[in-house]
Amino acid sequence: MTPYYEQDGITIYHGDCREILPGLAWDVLVTDPNYGIGADRRQGARAGKQHGAACAPSRDYGPVTDWDATPADSAFLRSLTMRPAIVWGGNYFALGPASKWLVWDKQTGENGYADAELAWTNLGGAVRTFRHQWMGMLRAASDDGDERVHPTQKPVPLMRWCIGLVPDGVVLDPFMGSGTTLRAARDLGRRAIGIEIEERYCEIAARRLDQGVLDLGERPAP
For 61-81, write each residue's pLDDT tens digit: 565 565 566 889 999 999 999
**136-139 long-range CB contacts below 8 Å, 24 or more apart?**
136/48, 136/54, 136/55, 136/56, 137/55, 137/56, 138/55, 138/56, 138/109
pTM over 0.85: no
pLDDT of res. 65 = 60
Residues of the chain with pLDDT below 50 are 39-56, 137, 217-222
Distance CA 4, CA 27 (A): 21
Q: Which domains are seen in the chain, by residue range?
A: 5-209 (3.40.50.150)
- Kindly list the distances between the CA atom of residue 104 and the CA atoms of 65, 118, 134, 158, 214, in Å, as whole numbers in the listed order: 27, 6, 10, 8, 22
Distance CA 5, CA 12 (A): 5
pLDDT of res. 138 = 53
pLDDT of res. 109 = 73
pLDDT of res. 158 = 96
pLDDT of res. 85 = 98
Name the residue among 132, 218, 137 with its Cα closest to residue 180: 132
- Do the Cβ atoms of 76 and 19 come closer than 8 Å? no
pLDDT of res. 60 = 54
pLDDT of res. 84 = 98
Q: Rg of the Cα trace of the chain?
A: 16
pLDDT of res. 194 = 98
